[in-house]
């Protein structure tokens, strides 16, 4: 193998002023570095540098059984841990042709939406903080705590759940689960309008986000942008609608779409999704069927030789799992198409030509989680 290394091809001009944003910048929420080229205060171009927390999850998967892989997926997009787990579980269940009990589907869907709510709450409070509204941070974390308490009671962990397992759940949910979830929805329905009062209608906030970081629908498709970021550009890309999984085919909910394509549109999509998530939970929480919490699975899972592909909608977009199996108890190759990886690289298109002060608003509106990019 010729070890020829291709050097940086971008020719930098002398008058360009390069500034590094990160890898320890507070608004990147992780170790991500933007190499920003400035002309005055205007951004000429921006190059994302990633890999600071590349852990080689795809390589590690090749040495692990499917039950062990679940724990690795938690560590990709840690704010959508439950949804990541579900993706791997479903790809295994589909390959083994296991029918999971209805109870599992309902509980998984409720937990997905609770997870999405918690993720959007954290995004909202961090987004406010990035733009200088510190109060938002306390509002968001106050309400998120209620969801994390529900998680803690049912499966002992708050952030990295690993509650799903191929075939079903690790154990049944806590007897209080239904009661507490309903209490939370009642509580949060009162609190969510406060978010709008504090930030959405705030003129200082609106000045920072309206008309900033415009992304056209074509650009979103070309860069493979998914999730709320793409739905702000009027791209219907919700996997829950396109290919329903779990109990999503049994519930009524709207896919929030905005046409403006700017930072404020992406903000409004996420705010709308919080209402929709609550709607989904309310439709399911009283109808959880009785039954087993897991299907019968063999202790050693060997997928039949072949290739399997499954997509789910995480809080940030489309997560696709691609497994190549050779019939062994470990996968031959495991690929995670993470939403943040594709969403990140549209940054240059959004930020170029704008002011450097808008950079924080744009990267905040894409809601990047860095461990998901690096994997």
Partner 1 sequence: MLNKQELSEIILKMVPEATFPEGTQLTEVIVPAENILALAEGLKNNKETAFDYLISLTAVDFTTNMTVVYHLDSTQFRHLIVLKVVLNDRENPLVDSVSSVWATAEFHEREVFDLFGIRFNNHPNLKRLFLEDDYGFPLRKDFRDEINIIER
CB of 345 to partner 1, least distance (A): 5
Q: What is the distance between the alpha carbons of residues 128 and 338, in angstroms, rounded to a whole number?
A: 25
Stretch that binds partner 1, among 11-19, 111-119, 293-301, 314-322 (CB under 8 A): 314-322
Residue count, binding to partner 1 (CB under 8 A): 47
Task: Decide if 43 contacts 55 (C-beta within 8 A).
Answer: no
Q: Is 336 helix (H, G, I), strand (E, B) or coil?
A: strand
CB of 54 or CB of 179, closer to partner 1: 54
User: Is 63 near partner 1 (CB under 8 A)?
Assistant: yes
Place of tokens 């406060």: 194
Where in 327-356 is the site for partner 1 (CB under 8 A)?
328, 330, 332-333, 335, 337, 341-342, 345
Among 160, 293, 322, 352, binds partner 1 (CB under 8 A): 322
H or E element in which residue 145 lies: helix 134-155
CB of 99 or CB of 307, closer to partner 1: 307
- Reference 213, options 340, 348, 120; nearest CA is 348
DSSP secondary structure string for all residues of 165-190: ETTEESSPPPTTHHHHHHHHHHHHHH
Q: What are phi and psi of 352, to 5 degrees?
A: -60, 130
User: Is 97 near partner 1 (CB under 8 A)?
Assistant: no
Among 237, 258, 303, 312, binds partner 1 (CB under 8 A): 237
Buried b or exposed e, range 207-223, using 16+ CB within 10 angstroms: ebbeebbbbebebbeeb
Task: Decide if 325 contacts 95 (C-beta within 8 A).
Answer: yes
CB of 7 or CB of 296, closer to partner 1: 7
CB of 51 or CB of 289, closer to partner 1: 51
CB of 225 to partner 1, least distance (A): 8
From residue 232, give the alpha-carbon distance in Å to each of 27, 100, 216, 316: 21, 34, 9, 12
Question: What is the per-residue binding string for partner 1 in 41-60, x denoting contact by CB under 8 A?
Answer: ---------xx--x-x-xxx
User: Is 222 near partner 1 (CB under 8 A)?
Assistant: yes
Task: Decide if 167 contacts 296 (C-beta within 8 A).
Answer: yes
From residue 43, give the alpha-carbon distance in Å to each of 8, 83, 212, 214: 20, 36, 13, 14
Stretch that binds partner 1, among 4-12, 68-76, 187-195, 270-278 (CB under 8 A): 4-12
CB of 1 or CB of 134, closer to partner 1: 1
What does the binding site for partner 1 look like in residue numbers (CB under 8 A)?
Answer: 1-3, 5-10, 50-51, 54, 56, 58-60, 62-63, 94, 219, 221-224, 235-237, 242, 306-309, 311, 318, 320, 322, 324, 328, 330, 332-333, 335, 337, 341-342, 345, 374
């Amino acid at each position: 193998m010729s070890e020829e290394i291709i050097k940086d091809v971008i020719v930098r001009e002398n008058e360009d002023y390069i500034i590094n944003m990160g890898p320890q910048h507070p608004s990147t929420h992780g170790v991500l570095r933007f190499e920003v080229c400035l002309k005055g205060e205007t951004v000429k171009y921006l190059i994302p540098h990633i890999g600071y927390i590349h852990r080689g999850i795809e390589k590690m998967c090749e040495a692990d059984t499917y039950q062990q892989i679940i724990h690795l997926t938690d560590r990709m997009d840690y704010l959508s841990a439950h949804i990541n787990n579900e993706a791997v579980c479903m790809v295994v269940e589909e390959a083994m042709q296991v029918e999971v009990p209805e109870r599992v589907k309902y509980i998984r869907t409720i937990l997905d939406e609770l997870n999405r709510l918690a993720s959007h709450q954290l995004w909202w409070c961090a987004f406010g903080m990035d733009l200088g509204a510190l109060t938002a941070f306390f509002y968001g974390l106050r309400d998120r705590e209620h969801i994390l308490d529900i998680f803690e009671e049912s499966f002992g962990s708050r952030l990295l759940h690993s509650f799903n397992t191929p075939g079903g759940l690790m154990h049944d949910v806590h007897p209080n689960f239904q009661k507490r979830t309903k209490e939370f929805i009642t509580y949060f329905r009162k609190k969510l309008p406060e978010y709008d009062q504090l930030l959405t209608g705030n003129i200082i906030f609106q000045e920072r986000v309206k008309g900033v970081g415009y992304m056209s629908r074509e650009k979103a498709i070309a860069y493979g942008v998914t999730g709320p970021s793409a739905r702000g550009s009027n791209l219907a890309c919700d996997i829950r609608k396109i290919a329903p999984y779990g109990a999503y085919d049994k519930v009524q909910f709207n896919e929030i779409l905005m046409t403006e394509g700017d930072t404020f549109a992406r903000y409004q999509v996420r705010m709308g999704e919080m209402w929709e998530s609550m709607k989904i939970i309310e439709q399911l929480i009283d109808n959880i069927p009785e039954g087993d919490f897991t299907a019968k699975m063999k202790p050693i899972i060997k997928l039949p030789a072949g290739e399997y592909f499954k997509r789910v909608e995480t809080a940030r977009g489309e997560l696709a799992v691609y497994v190549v199996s050779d019939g062994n108890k470990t996968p031959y190759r495991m690929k995670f198409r993470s939403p943040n990886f594709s969403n990140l690289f549209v940054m240059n298109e959004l930020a170029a030509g704008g002011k450097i002060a808008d950079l924080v608003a744009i990267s905040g509106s894409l809601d990047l989680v860095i461990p998901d990019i690096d994997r």
